[in-house]
Chain A
Amino acid sequence: MRYGQGINGDDVDFESVWKTLDTAFTQIHDHNASSLSYEELYRFAYRLVLKKQGEKLYDKVKAFESTWLREKIRPQILGKLSPSLQSAPQDGVGAGAAATTNERREAGEKFLREVKDSWQNHVVCMNMLADVLMYMDRVYCTDNRKPNIYATAMNLFRDCNLFSPTGSDPRSPSVLGVLNGVILDQIQMERAGDVIDKSIIKSCIYMLDGLYESNSESSEQKLYSTSFEQDFLNVSREFYRDEGEKLLRESDAGGYCERTMARLKEEQYRCRTMLSDTTTPKIEKVVEEELIKNKIQEVIEMESGVRFMIDNERLEELGLVYQLEARVDEKKSELTKAIQLRVVEMGTAVNEAATTTAVPGQLPPEQAPKDAEAPANKPGNPQTAAAIKWVADVLELKDKFDAILNHSFQKDTGVAAALTRSFSEFINSAAFTRASEFISLFIDDNMKKGIRDKTETEIDQVLLKAITLVRYVQNKDMFEGYYKKHLTKRLLQKKSLSMDVEKDMVSRMKIELGHQFTQKMEGMFKDMNTSDDLTRNYQDYLQSTGSEDPKRVGLDMMVLTSMTWPPLGEDNEKKFIFPSEIDRLRKSFEKFYGEKHSGRKLTWLPHLGTADMRVRFGKMHEVNIPTYGMVILLLFNDVPSGEYLSYEEIQAKTNMPDADLIRNLQQIAVSKKTQFLKKEPMGREVNPSDKFCVNEKFQSKFLKLKVGIITNNNRVETDQEKRETEDKMEQHRGITVEAAIVRIMKSRKQLSHQQLILDTLDQVKAQFKPDVNMIKKRIESLIDREYLERLEESNPPAYKYLA
């Protein structure tokens, strides 16, 4: 019913009505609308549309706007164009030809202000026009699928102004081009430190963001993205490429990173305040590519680069490098590479320092162990000191890099893993084979002295550090061997300060390295406990059987399970002749033990024991002495004063091994503090031709004396000892590998060669890193012994398990 008759029924004369509207529109554009009646204008437009003059009206309005924009607005905008502005965009950065930056900035601002003002006016006027022409939009435009008059007028602004050439030559740059150029120029000025009027630029950008490249209004077609943004990114890329070069030349790595960070923030802020949020990721990418991706390697390798930062604890700068590289590379590969390089470098230096001092040529002969108690903080010898220093150095290194990791790298797991790899690399490096031994010595030292006067937390720290290092060691079996050896000495000689800490350490290793690793050590602790009980029970037993006799010698023994403990020295029980007192004791205990555990065989290891005895030299002294030493002294009980026993006689009576005999004689006949015997002839060395008698003149102001055992300190092995250890290790590994192969084949029955190797590597890698050749040899050997069989016709080669 829209086109019905009635109050609006009269025909209209288009021309006269348009004339009224035309005048009114002119007034509106001249900001002179206050006397106009909306009702009247609206009614006119309404009637024209109603009378099917909509199309005519629409076209008239369009024509009116085009004329207005072309003839009134464009000249105003072009009027603000000074020649300096036109040259600016082509020349790009900072080359304003004749014009100084200042002039250019002011001219630019004028131009931008004009564009902005005319645009804003246009928007205001078009809002009014659109209101008046509401009915046309509602009816005519909707029915005929035309864009509403407001949108049309906006596009007209674009076509008549922005896309028009600036000069009379149609090929001269368009207003839009100049506009982009001017805005970019202003931005460059701001980058160079000038202060510019951001609000004008923001308005102009807002305009570009509201206009579209073509009349279809899809968001990718925004003028902002199609024309300005790309220019902006290109100019910025160039700018940052130059800036990157300049910074590399002029500042140090820290400065470079700071500057880059600042630039990134600046661009983010610029996008937020002046440009569009959609540009933020794009410009960030430009900066990242130009300043970070293409340069980070150079920055890291600069003289003041990562290496310098690490050495000088520049945590903040390292943090910057990290943050920057994290933006372009998730893995931070360049930084990680540099860090790893430095870790290995520093680690190798530590290794070398340790190797030069630690490799013991010859053991210092005097190596006075009896003094070992006194200088508690000084380890027994320089080699051990070097070992402990090595551990301390490695730990320091670890602390240093941990601090960097936590402070600068946000505890990045990737970098952490890389650090672990690098530590592992230098600790296990082929040029440095003593890591396991050193770490074990470090723990040994701490167990014996280090943890004295320390609080629980401090002890905890030490254990934690030790475990950290153990984690790096690849050949865990090697470490296990050394640790067991050192632990054995601590336990047998009761050198441990605290059994609780010892057990704590072992349980930590259990968590870290698995049950199998600590099985033997736990067995050792268990033996110690049962031995204590056994000693007590034996005493009770003696009392109850009434075989107590005053001349009886007390016995405090340790019963050790032979499988659990490392080899404790050659078994010379058969040959060794115990003195009668001791032999009685031995038999008595064997009887007692046999009653409790039938079927077990006891082997005595006298070379590990010590004895407490009283000797009288003028006054009574209490002497703690190795069992062998005691036996030698006991011989002299039967020798009349002043008479000699020759070396050979002593040996014949005891059947003691030469090495032990010499060592013990040295202690009791040469060492001044415990010189119970006199040697003939005098001299430091004990020779088979020597004779000995009781040293009647011996005196000492101490009531209690201790005769040390020379080999009682855990220390760095000599090269020869080390070779022996390694040989043993090699044998043990062979057995482990064979066991693994058999286990695998037993469950698989048949397996290809390649797969068998892989599975074997997998099984033993928790303990050590085996050599593939060794596995091959072991397979050969198993075939020879008919555990396995080659599958003849199989390709690839495979094996079969023979049950």
Chain B
Amino acid sequence: MAEENQQSDYVTLVSNDGFEFKVQRSAACIAGAIKKMLDPSNNFVEARENRCHFESINGIVLEKVCEYLYYAEKHKDAKDVPDMDLPPELCLELLMAADFLNC
């Protein structure tokens, strides 16, 4: 099973209100917590199912998080990257999610 996991390019991130986001594994692993979560050597349930359920993050925030993950991956090696556009009303929640996910 572990081998299967390694091969899958996409993982599913699930919000506490039931939204599912299929995200490229490489992008998802930008977040430190998600990376550990999916680490096949630890073999937690998330790693086996390629599915991460976040009890503390809602769909709107998670969507923005996913957007950020892709954005971050795209500009991984670039310098002088312009800031990502964030709606001010989400700022606080995004901040807490970032702290939680270590990204």
What CA separation (Å) do A512 and B51 show in the bound complex? 89
Give residues 49-63 of B contacting A (CB, 8 Å). Answer: 52-58
Given contacts A34-B48, A42-B33, A43-B55, contact A6 B42 (CB under 8 A): no
Interface centre among A37, A38, A132, A138 (most CB of B within 10 A): A38
Q: Is the CB of B96 within 8 A of A39?
A: no
What CA separation (Å) do A438 and B12 show in the bound complex? 101
Given contacts A1-B92, A42-B33, A43-B55, contact A128 B100 (CB under 8 A): no
What CA separation (Å) do A7 and B56 show in the bound complex? 6
Q: Is the CB of B42 within 8 A of A131?
A: yes
Question: A134 — which chain B residues lie within 8 A by C-beta?
Answer: 32-33, 36, 102
Give residues 27-59 of B contacting A (CB, 8 Å). Answer: 32-33, 36-37, 39, 41-48, 52-58
Partner of A38, one of B32, B41, B46, B99: B46
What CA separation (Å) do A34 and B2 show in the bound complex? 11
What string of 1s and 0s marks CB contacts (under 8 Å) between A655-686 and chain B? 00000000000000000000000000000000
Tell me how far the C-beta of A614 lies from the nearest C-beta in chain B, rounded to whole angstroms: 111
A127 contacts the other chain (CB 8 A) = yes
Tell me how far the C-beta of B79 lies from the nearest C-beta in chain A, rounded to whole angstroms: 26
Q: Is the CB of A38 within 8 A of B96?
A: no
What CA separation (Å) do A127 and B43 show in the bound complex? 12
Partner of A128, one of B32, B42, B48: B42
A46 contacts the other chain (CB 8 A) = yes
Given contacts A7-B93, A138-B102, contact A37 B45 (CB under 8 A): yes
Given contacts A34-B44, A46-B100, A138-B102, contact A39 B52 (CB under 8 A): yes
What CA separation (Å) do A40 and B46 show in the bound complex? 10
A35 contacts the other chain (CB 8 A) = yes
Partner of B96, one of A7, A37, A43, A138: A7
Given contacts A33-B43, A134-B102, contact A38 B56 (CB under 8 A): no
What CA separation (Å) do A40 and B57 show in the bound complex? 13
Q: Is the CB of B33 within 8 A of A8?
A: no
Give how many A residues have a beta carbon under 8 Å from the other chain's beta carbons: 25
Given contacts A1-B92, A7-B96, A43-B56, contact A38 B102 (CB under 8 A): no
Question: B55 — which chain A residues lie within 8 A by C-beta?
Answer: 39-40, 43
Give how many B residues have a beta carbon under 8 Å from the other chain's beta carbons: 27
| Total A-B pairs, Cβ < 8 A | 69
What CA separation (Å) do A577 and B41 show in the bound complex? 122
What string of 1s and 0s marks CB contacts (under 8 Å) between B9-40 and chain A? 00000000000000000000000110011010
What CA separation (Å) do A676 and B8 show in the bound complex? 124
Tell me how far the C-beta of A434 lies from the nearest C-beta in chain B, rounded to whole angstroms: 86
Question: B43 — which chain A residues lie within 8 A by C-beta?
Answer: 33-34
Question: B52 — which chain A residues lie within 8 A by C-beta?
Answer: 39
Q: Is the CB of B32 within 8 A of A37?
A: no
What string of 1s and 0s marks CB contacts (under 8 Å) between A26-70 and chain B? 000000011111111011001000000000000000000000000
Question: B46 — which chain A residues lie within 8 A by C-beta?
Answer: 37-39
Q: Is the CB of A34 within 8 A of B45?
A: yes
Q: Is the CB of B36 within 8 A of A36?
A: no
Of all chain A residues, the one with the shortest Cβ separation from B1 is: A34
Question: A40 — which chain B residues lie within 8 A by C-beta?
Answer: 55
Tell me how far the C-beta of A142 lies from the nearest C-beta in chain B, rounded to whole angstroms: 13
A2 contacts the other chain (CB 8 A) = yes
Given contacts A7-B57, A37-B45, contact A131 B39 (CB under 8 A): yes
Tell me how far the C-beta of A120 lies from the nearest C-beta in chain B, rounded to whole angstroms: 13
Question: A135 — which chain B residues lie within 8 A by C-beta?
Answer: 33, 100, 102
Of all chain A residues, the one with the shortest Cβ separation from B54 is: A39
Question: B96 — which chain A residues lie within 8 A by C-beta?
Answer: 1, 4, 6-8
Q: Is the CB of B42 within 8 A of A39?
A: no
What CA separation (Å) do A39 and B96 show in the bound complex? 15
What CA separation (Å) do A36 and B49 show in the bound complex? 12
Question: B47 — which chain A residues lie within 8 A by C-beta?
Answer: 38
What CA separation (Å) do A39 and B33 show in the bound complex? 8
Q: Is the CB of B53 within 8 A of A39?
A: yes
Given contacts A6-B93, A138-B102, contact A38 B44 (CB under 8 A): yes
Tell me how far the C-beta of A124 lies from the nearest C-beta in chain B, rounded to whole angstroms: 8
What CA separation (Å) do A132 and B41 show in the bound complex? 13
Q: Is the CB of B99 within 8 A of A2?
A: yes
Interface centre among A7, A39, A128 (most CB of B within 10 A): A39
Of all chain B residues, the one with the shortest Cβ separation from A131 is: B36
Q: Is the CB of A8 within 8 A of B36?
A: no
What CA separation (Å) do A47 and B27 show in the bound complex? 25
Tell me how far the C-beta of A24 lies from the nearest C-beta in chain B, rounded to whole angstroms: 10
Partner of A42, one of B37, B41, B93: B37
What CA separation (Å) do A238 and B32 show in the bound complex? 53
What CA separation (Å) do A208 and B95 show in the bound complex? 42
Question: A2 — which chain B residues lie within 8 A by C-beta?
Answer: 99
Q: Is the CB of A6 within 8 A of B92?
A: yes
Of all chain B residues, the one with the shortest Cβ separation from A35 is: B45
Of all chain A residues, the one with the shortest Cβ separation from B61 is: A7
Q: Is the CB of A37 within 8 A of B57?
A: no
Tell me how far the C-beta of B88 lies from the nearest C-beta in chain A, rounded to whole angstroms: 15
Tell me how far the C-beta of A746 lies from the nearest C-beta in chain B, rounded to whole angstroms: 80
Question: A138 — which chain B residues lie within 8 A by C-beta?
Answer: 102
What CA separation (Å) do A128 and B95 show in the bound complex? 26
Tell me how far the C-beta of A79 lies from the nearest C-beta in chain B, rounded to whole angstroms: 28
Interface centre among B32, B93, B100 (most CB of A within 10 A): B100
Q: Is the CB of B45 within 8 A of A36?
A: yes
Tell me how far the C-beta of B4 lies from the nearest C-beta in chain A, rounded to whole angstroms: 14
Of all chain A residues, the one with the shortest Cβ separation from B97 is: A7
Tell me how far the C-beta of B100 lies from the nearest C-beta in chain A, rounded to whole angstroms: 6
Q: Is the CB of A38 within 8 A of B45?
A: yes
Q: Is the CB of A38 within 8 A of B48?
A: no
Of all chain A residues, the one with the shortest Cβ separation from B95 is: A1
Give residues 118-172 of A contacting B (CB, 8 Å). Answer: 124, 127-128, 131-132, 134-135, 138
Tell me how far the C-beta of B49 lies from the nearest C-beta in chain A, rounded to whole angstroms: 10
Interface centre among A4, A8, A35, A131 (most CB of B within 10 A): A131
What CA separation (Å) do A6 and B36 show in the bound complex? 25
Question: B36 — which chain A residues lie within 8 A by C-beta?
Answer: 38, 42, 131-132, 134
Of all chain A residues, the one with the shortest Cβ separation from B48 is: A34
Question: B102 — which chain A residues lie within 8 A by C-beta?
Answer: 134-135, 138
What CA separation (Å) do A128 and B47 show in the bound complex? 13
Question: B54 — which chain A residues lie within 8 A by C-beta?
Answer: 39
What CA separation (Å) do A46 and B42 show in the bound complex? 18
Question: B57 — which chain A residues lie within 8 A by C-beta?
Answer: 7
Of all chain B residues, the one with the shortest Cβ separation from A139 is: B99
Q: Is the CB of B41 within 8 A of A8?
A: no
Query: What are 15 A-B residue pairs whose CB atoms fall within 8 Å in the complex?
Result: A1-B95, A4-B96, A6-B96, A7-B93, A33-B43, A34-B45, A37-B46, A42-B33, A43-B55, A43-B100, A46-B100, A127-B41, A128-B42, A131-B39, A131-B42
Chain A interfacial positions (CB closer than 8 Å to B): 1-2, 4, 6-8, 33-40, 42-43, 46, 124, 127-128, 131-132, 134-135, 138
User: What 18 new A-B contacts, CB under 8 Å, besides A34-B45, A37-B44?
Assistant: A1-B95, A6-B92, A7-B56, A7-B58, A33-B44, A36-B44, A37-B45, A39-B54, A40-B55, A43-B100, A46-B100, A127-B41, A128-B44, A131-B39, A131-B42, A134-B36, A135-B100, A138-B102
Top-5 shortest CB links A-B: A38-B44, A131-B36, A38-B37, A128-B42, A37-B45
